[in-house]
Amino acid sequence: MTGNQTTNVLHPRPGRGLHSARHTQERKITTMGKFFSRLAVGVGALALAAAGTFGGASVASAAQGTDGTPPGNAASDTTGTLIVHKYAGSVTSDPALPNDGTAQTPDRPVLAGIEFTVCQVAGIDLTTSAGWTAAESVTVGTATCKDGTTQSLTTLADGTATFAGLPIGLYLVTESDYPDDVTPAAPFLVSIPYPSTSGTGDAQTTNWLWTVHVYPKNTLKGSGEKTVADPTTNGLGSTVPWQIATRPIGSFNNGQPLTAYKVQDSLDSRLTYVADSAKVYVVAPGATDGTLLNEGTEYVLTAPTAAGGTLIVDFNKTYVNGLPAGTTFKITFHTTVTAIGDGTIENSSTEYVNDDTEGYTPNTVTTDWGAAKLLKHAKNDTTKVLSGAKFEVYNSTNGACATLGSKITVNGATEFTSNSSGVVDIAGLYVGKNSETASRVYCVVETEAPLGYELNNAPQAITVLPGAYAQGDYTLSIPNNPAKGPSLPLTGGQGTMLFLIAGVAIIGAAGGTLIFRKARA
C-alpha cells in the first residue's frame, strides 16, 4: 500500500445516500502521506532500540510522548495526541504545505461543526516490530475497531478536534457527521506515534511525532440560488421582490483566499430597479437568517438608475477571506415591471471570483405577465362597437367572481375605458412565476355604460395567459342592451275611441248650455 492510496468505498451514514465514487477515489488519505512506506522506518527504529522491545523501556505512568522520541525509547503506556484540522478545500494539495503530520498554517477557511470518530485498530500492536509489519497490510476497508476505544469529537470554531491520551497504536479516523452541504473526507489511518520524514535518499531523517496534525480534505457543496416572489399587487407597475443566495465560501476556488469577489445582476429592460431597495446579508454556516451588512465597508453597491441596467455588489475581499467556510451571502432587491412583451421576464445573477471574466450563474427565474383585451359591442351585433364604457378589474376568489377580491391598479390606473373601436386595453396582469402557473383568473366589472346603452355590471371572469393579445383577438366580448326610452302616446285603436267619446261629451255639454239659455229667455 503506498502513500497515494485512495479509499475505494465510503460507507455513508443511514439516510445520507451514497457519495460519488469519483469523489471518494479522488480524495487521498491526506493525513498519511507516505505512511505505510514509513512503517519500515518504524520497524528499523525498533530494531535499533537498545532493548529491542517496549518492555525494555522504563516503566512510568501514562504520559504524553515527546516529539522526537522513538517508540522504542518510550514507555509502553506513553500516549499521543491526534489533532484533526478542518478546512474547506484541499490543504495538502498546496505544495508549500508538507503532508508530514506537523502543524501547518493553511490559507483556507475553517470548518466548524464536523464530527470525527476515532478508534484503535484491533489486532495491531505497535509496541512490537511484528505489529508494525502487520500494519502494512491494513487498509481502511479491512480495519476493525478495538472494543472500548471509539470516541467522537466535533470540530470547534477554529476547525479543530483534539483527541488526547491515545495509546500507542494504529487508528482509523472517520468523518462521522457533517452538514448536508458538505462532501466528507475519506476515512484514513494514522499511527501514534507517527514517523514523519524529511529529506530524501541518504539525507532522509525521521522525526517521531507524538502530537500528530492531520488535514483531511472536505468539499463544500452549494450551487447558489436565484428566487423571485409574487408581486406586491397583481397589476403592471407593481413591485417584484428578488433574492440572490450565493455559493458558500469555501465551495469554490479550492477554498483559497479571494483577490476579488462580486455578484452581478443584469436586469431585463422591462424591469426598473427600485431605488435604495437592495439589502445585503451575511448568513453563518447552517443558519437561515442573516445579518445586515454595512454598505461602503463590507461591500460597495452599484445600482442601475434607469430601466434595465446592472446591479453590482462588490465585496470587501479582506472581509470575505476572514469568514468561516460555509458562509453565504443573501442579496435582496425590488424592481417594478413596466412592460410585458412576450410575458416572460427572465432574471439571473452571476458570481465573479478573482479575475474570472465568465463568472458562475446559477438558475434563471421568471416573473410571468399577460395582457387582457375586452371588446364592447351592442347586443347581437359585434360589428356595432361601443366606446365610453368603463371597467374595473379585481382579483378573483378561488378562480370565481361571486365574491370579488381586491381592486387592481395597472400602471397607476384603476379604471379602463373602451375606445372608439370598442376595445378595452388592460396592459398587464400578473400570471405567476417560473412558468409554474399557466393562467390566472381575474374579474372585470362594468362601472359606466356606453351612452345610450344599459349598464352590464355583473362581474365577469377573464382568464389571463402570459403574453399580449394580438390584433383582433379578445379575452372577452361584452354586449350591452340599448337603453329604454320613455313611453310614447298611442294613435289609432282604443286611443281614437277615447278622443271620439271626449268630443261627443264636449258637444253634448255645449248643446245643453244653449237650450238652458233659450229657456230663460
pLDDT at 101: 92
Whether residue 17 has pLDDT greater than 50: no
CATH of the domain at 273: 2.60.40.740
Round to whole Å and give the CA distance between 251 and 103: 24
pLDDT at 205: 82
* Number of structural domains in the chain: 3
* Same domain, yes or no: 355 and 420: no
Residue 497 lies in a domain: no
19-32 pLDDT tens trace: 333 333 333 333 34
Residue 331 lies in a domain: yes
Whether residue 511 has pLDDT greater than 70: no
Question: Which residues, 6 or more positions from 414, have their beta carbon under 8 angstroms from its beta carbon?
Answer: 392, 407, 408
Give residue 267's identity as a one-letter amino acid code: L
Q: pLDDT confidence of 492, banded at 50, 70, 90?
A: low
* Same domain, yes or no: 274 and 200: no
Whether residue 124 has pLDDT greater than 80: yes
Residue 439 lies in a domain: yes
Whether residue 192 has pLDDT greater than 50: yes
pLDDT at 256: 86
* Same domain, yes or no: 186 and 269: no
Round to whole Å and give the CA distance between 70 and 34: 18
Task: Report, as an integer, the average pLDDT of 479-488.
Answer: 86
**325's grid cell:** 467556510
Question: Radius of gyration of the chain from Cα atoms?
Answer: 43
Mean pLDDT over all residues of the chain?
84
Return the minimum-mean-pLDDT range out of 51-60, 208-217, 237-246: 51-60
Residue 406 lies in a domain: yes
Question: Which residues, 6 or more positions from 499, have their beta carbon under 8 angstroms from its beta carbon?
Answer: none
* Same domain, yes or no: 35 and 159: yes
Whether residue 5 has pLDDT greater than 50: no
The whole model's pTM is what? Answer: 0.72
pLDDT at 33: 39
pLDDT at 238: 95
Give residue 45's identity as a one-letter amino acid code: A
In sequence order, the β-bridge partners of residue 425 are: 373
343-395 pLDDT tens trace: 999 999 999 999 999 999 999 999 999 999 999 999 999 999 999 999 999 99
pLDDT at 98: 74
Residue 518 lies in a domain: no
Phi and psi for 340 in degrees, rounded to 5? -110, -30
pLDDT at 218: 78
Residue 501 lies in a domain: no
Whether residue 169 has pLDDT greater than 90: yes
Give residue 496's identity as a one-letter amino acid code: T
pLDDT at 504: 52
Residue 92 lies in a domain: yes
**405's grid cell:** 377580491
Final residue of a structural domain among 363, 393, 428:
363
Task: Report, as an integer, the average pLDDT of 498-512.
Answer: 54
* Same domain, yes or no: 236 and 314: yes
CB atoms within 10 A of CB 508: 10
For 174, the domain range is 21-219
Final residue of a structural domain among 363, 389, 424:
363
* Same domain, yes or no: 201 and 259: no
Q: Is the pLDDT higher at 507 or at 151?
A: 151
Round to whole Å and give the CA distance between 181 and 111: 12
CATH of the domain at 400: 2.60.40.10
Q: How far is CA 271 from the centre of its chain?
A: 21
Q: pLDDT confidence of 459, banded at 50, 70, 90?
A: very high
235-246 pLDDT tens trace: 999 999 999 999
pLDDT at 94: 64
Task: Report, as an integer, the average pLDDT of 82-95.
Answer: 80
Whether residue 271 has pLDDT greater than 70: yes
Q: pLDDT confidence of 38, banded at 50, 70, 90?
A: very low
Residue 498 lies in a domain: no
* Same domain, yes or no: 292 and 185: no
* Same domain, yes or no: 191 and 320: no
What burial letters (b/e) apply to 212-221, b meaning 16+ CB within 10 Å? bbbbbbbbbe
* Same domain, yes or no: 72 and 148: yes
In sequence order, the β-bridge partners of residue 235 are: 429
Final residue of a structural domain among 219, 245, 279:
219
* Same domain, yes or no: 149 and 246: no
* Same domain, yes or no: 211 and 328: no
Round to whole Å and give the CA distance between 98 and 213: 11
Task: Report, as an integer, the average pLDDT of 130-145.
Answer: 95
Task: Report, as an integer, the average pLDDT of 419-447.
Answer: 96
pLDDT at 217: 83
* Same domain, yes or no: 355 and 258: yes
Whether residue 289 has pLDDT greater than 70: yes
